[in-house]
Amino acid sequence: LKVIIYLEFNNIRDILALTYKLLYNDCLINRLDERILETSNNEIFDD
């Protein structure tokens, strides 16, 4: 996850909040991907 921080952000809190949100969203996406893989594997190997 590459985060581009523009110099327009004057407040450090804004930068921290933005990066935290992006990292949190990335974690959620990874969890969803894992769940999708688990369910697909179960469907494939479930006879």
pLDDT value of position 5:
55
Distance from first CA to last CA of the chain, Å, rounded?
A: 38
CB within 8 A of 5, min separation 6: which ones?
Answer: 15, 18, 19
The conformation of residue 24, written as its DSSP 8-state character, comes to H
The one-letter amino acid at 1? L
Full-model pTM: 0.42
Q: Is 6 helix (H, G, I), strand (E, B) or coil?
A: coil
pLDDT value of position 18:
81
Nearest-angstrom CA–CA distance, 37 and 47: 17
pLDDT value of position 27:
81
Q: Where are the domains of the chain?
A: 12-42
Q: 1-47: per-residue pLDDT in tens?
A: 566 555 555 677 777 888 888 888 888 888 888 887 777 766 665 55
